[in-house]
Amino acid sequence: MPGGKYPKLFAPGRLGGLALANRYVVAPMERISATPGGVATDEMRDYYAAFAAGGFGLIVAEGTFTDLKSSQAYPTQPGLASGAQIAGWRRVTNAVHQAGGKIIVQLMHAGALILGNTYGGRPIAPSKVLPKGEKSPRFGGAGPYEMPEEITLKGIDDVIRGHAEAAENAIAAGFDGVEIHGATGYLLDEFLTDYTNQRQDEYSGALENRLRLHCRTVTAVRGAIAGRGITGIRISEGKVNDFDHRWPGGADDAKIIFSSLKEAGADFIHIAARDGAAEVFNSGHSLAGLARDYAGLPIIAAGNLHDPKAATELLERGEADFIGIGKGAIADPSLPIKISRGEAPVPFHPEMLVPLATIENTLRWLQDNKAG
Ligand SMILES: Cc1cc2nc3c(=O)[nH]c(=O)nc-3n(C[C@H](O)[C@H](O)[C@H](O)COP(=O)(O)O)c2cc1C
């Protein structure tokens, strides 16, 4: 695909061992559109294949649960913990590869933020702390979260093993690798965050301890799939239930977090932010830029980067290597092709995710508004 006015966005790049045609990445987005058994559907196959056909260099498939216990956050979230779930995803990855795309999957443990769990799993968290905020109606929730159980040391080992097994299953399902969900308020991020982690053991206190679960998970997942798929991790300051949270140690925290994740074996880091280009901690850099400096790994920056000018600037300033697109990709899976041709993609409208953030509701909105 020629780059038109934005050649930097359309230059090939490498994410670990994975060669990508351009710098456009679909950010992981939960679409609560799987079967009640967590199996990906034909609708999901077509939804993901459309991003490949639309020119995205990489797709990060939505947060997918890792075990048949407490990792599932929503009843129609897809999983990677059973033969049927592997087979469902296999049809998705085949369709994406046939359309010339690459696809990895985000492995996610809900932690305390369960909205509905088919397996009867109870919310678990580093400590018995009631989550802030309320369950999102867009994802079928209502009212306050439940009080989680404090996870045991054996429970932590099970969570890590769950991620490694789900990563094996991801490779069996044809994915090109995995991204560990270490961000936005779910289990791993609850360990990192001081107010949700009040344990008294080696997983608490100093930042290095609160980061231990992230690092052990990266190392275990990499050990399970190295040579067969890439292993990355997503990190953020804000959370789905606390948008404005900021790391208390600022750039010092960023240095420890990003250099430790590199040390643990991550192939890339994906930064989630509301504004991926915004300066953090008066550092003169975005969080993605700090990750690039401190980890020296390929970085995906995401958050309000659908404008190709802003995205190009970020690449030119050396703040990121790849650009993650969330809502802009939901609105128009052909965003890269359109930008390369100088055409305007369909803009995102919040009603595309109403009343629930399902694929079906987006397709209906696009049809009703003749925007598809
Ligand atoms: C419907 C929806 C579902 C999302 N699900 C996930 C998810 O499963 N995992 C994740 O890390 N982020 C998730 N996000 C956050 C996006 O990946 C992205 O970081 C965010 O939308 C900001 O990028 P944007 O401004 O391009 O939309 C979701 C966002 C939306 C809109």
Q: What is the Cα 292 distance to its own chain's centre?
A: 18
What pLDDT score was predicted for residue 372?
A: 59
Q: Report d(CA 161, CA 171) in Å as an integer.
A: 16
Q: Give the Cβ contact number of residue 4 at 10 Å.
A: 14
Number of domains into which the chain is organized: 1
- Position 239 scores a pLDDT of 98
Token duo for residue 311: 């995205």
Residue 228 lies in a domain: yes
Q: Is residue 209 part of a domain?
A: yes
Q: How far is the CA of 119 from the centre of ligand 1 (A)?
A: 25
Nearest to 330 by CA among 347, 316, 343: 347
**Number of CB atoms found within 10 A of residue 145's CB:** 19
- Distance, in Å, from the CA atom of 271 to the CA atom of 199, rounded to the nearest integer, reads 26
Both tokens assigned to 184: 């936005």
Mutate to test the pocket of ligand 1, among 24, 25, 26, 29 (most ligand atoms within 8 A of CB): 29
Q: How far apart are CA 264 and CA 256, in angstroms?
A: 12
Cα of 200 vs centre of ligand 1, distance in Å, is 33
Residue nearest atom 3 of ligand 1, based on CA coordinates: 29
End-to-end alpha-carbon separation of the chain, Å?
A: 21
Q: Which of 154, 138, 81, 147 is nearest to 111 (CA)?
A: 147
Distance of CA 177 to the CA centre of its chain: 13
Per run of 10 residues, the mean pLDDT along the chain (length 372 residues) is 89 97 98 97 98 98 98 97 98 98 98 96 98 97 98 98 99 99 98 98 98 98 98 98 97 98 98 98 98 98 97 98 98 98 97 98 95 67
Ligand 1 geometric centre to CA of 24 (Å): 15
How far is the C-alpha of 340 from the C-alpha of 353, rounded, in Å? 27
* Cβ 72 vs Cβ 79: under 8 Å: yes
Give me the DSSP letters along 310-355.
HHHHHHHTTS-SEEEESHHHHH-TTHHHHHHTTPPPPPP-GGGG-S
pLDDT at 371: 75
259-276 in b/e form (b: 16+ CB < 10 A) is ebbbebbbbbbbbbbeeb
10: tokens are 């359309």
* Dist CA 116 CA 164 (whole Å): 23
Question: Is 122 part of a structural domain of the chain?
Answer: yes
- Containing structural domain, residue 280: 7-368
Other beta carbons within 10 angstroms of residue 327's beta carbon come to 16
Query: 31: CA distance to ligand 1 center in Å?
Result: 10
Q: At a CB cut-off of 8 Å and minimum separation 6, what does 335 contact?
A: 24, 54, 55, 56, 306, 325, 328, 329, 345
Q: Which one of 30, 76, 138 would you pick to mutate in the ligand 1 pocket, going by the greatest count of ligand atoms within 8 A of its CB?
A: 30
Is 1 part of any domain? no
**Burial grade of 347 (CB within 10 A; 0-12, 13-18, 19 or more):** exposed
Residue 367 sits at φ, ψ, to 5 deg, of -70, -45
Answer yes or no: are the C-beta atoms of 59 and 51 closer than 8 Å.
yes
- Asked if residue 2 belongs to a domain, the reply is no
Task: Quickly tell me which residue has 């929730």 as its tokens.
Answer: 141
What is each CA distance from 79 to 107, 119, 186, 251, in whole angstroms?
9, 12, 16, 35
**Residue 86 sits in a domain of what CATH number?**
3.20.20.70
Identity of residue 6:
Y
User: Residue with the nearest Cα to atom 21 of ligand 1?
Assistant: 326
Q: Is residue 338 part of a domain?
A: yes
Cα–Cα distance measured from residue 220 to residue 79, given in angstroms and rounded to the nearest whole number: 19
Residues in the chain: 372
Whole-number Å distance between alpha carbons of 363 and 371 = 10
Q: What local confidence, expressed as pLDDT, does residue 3 receive?
A: 79
Atom 7 (ligand 1) nearest CA: 29
For the chain, what is the radius of gyration of the CA atoms?
A: 19
Pocket lining for ligand 1, CB < 6 angstroms: 27-30, 62-63, 106, 181, 183-184, 234, 272, 302-304, 306, 325-328, 353, 357
CA–CA gap between residue 145 and residue 298 (Å, rounded): 35
Cα of 326 to ligand 1 centre, how many Å?
5
For residue 58, give the nearest of 101, 29, 8 by alpha carbon. 101
Query: Within a domain: residue 326?
Result: yes
